[in-house]
Amino acid sequence: MDLGGQRPEQGNDGARLATHGVDSDQTRRVLRWTYLGRVAYQSALELQIDSREQLRQGRADERLILLQHPHTYTLGRSADRGEILAGSEWLAARGVTIAESDRGGQVTYHGPGQLVGYPIINLDPDRRDIRRYMHDLQEVLVRTLAVFGLAAEARHEQPEIGVWCAGRKVASLGVHISRWITTHGFALNVATDLSYFSGIVPCGMPRVEMASIESLTGSAPEIEHVALACVECFCDVFDRQPQPIRPEELASPT
């Protein structure tokens, strides 16, 4: 799939992705995508909600918002605060904040070096199947990892839902669907500091071993390159036409 010849452009806190060119295929739904660099969790949540409402009201196309978060533990709808093992001093010393989320799932970690993807898409009318949606997200991640030489597998049953490689979990999923419009999504460990997972029971699995592309391959690709691969794989799996969107175009018109 042609992403318009886009290449990373250097900017603050990592590269910004260029936004020149579009896929010429006009037969598929448009997916507007962007990579934002590092964004606070609450700010990203507000952006998702705003994007969802724009889509619902017909004022915007579907979106795939890609970014990183600062160190954050998030609690999904099934989370138990007791699964945050770290005390307040440890959290403060390591700069970790805690945020509640309306996504599915339990406790997970977000932080630098992790590519987070928030698809804001409408599953109506042709994809009104939550299980299929989860499987499709996993397929996107499996294909993305293959680009970087990793043979990954999707696991579909609780508590192991996610994407695994060599017996270790490399990507997590947690979604919210409102009237068939999606928010939240996935987190793929690229060059993540995996020690932060020791402060929680990740996804309710006390003995899980987490992994990243870096830990599995011995090298870390630029996260912007992973983002580009992810866009291509997402559009292949979901049959969308990718078009870049600049960050300043995301907000609702005032």
Give the catalytic positions in this structure: 203
Distance between CA atoms of residues 139 and 118, nearest Å: 15
Distance between CA atoms of residues 39 and 254, nearest Å: 22
> Which residues lie closer than 8 Å to 121 by C-beta, 6 or more apart?
31, 55, 62, 63, 64, 181, 182, 238, 240
What is the C-alpha radius of gyration for the chain, rounded to an integer number of angstroms?
A: 17
Q: What is the largest CA-CA distance in the chain?
A: 54
Distance between CA atoms of residues 183 and 165, nearest Å: 26
How many helices (H) and strands (E) are present in the chain, helices listed first? 5, 13
Q: What is the dihedral of CA 136, 151, 210, 101, to 10 degrees?
A: -10
For residue 181, give the 3-state DSSP assignment. strand
Helices 130-147 and 223-238, axial angle in degrees (round to 10):
140
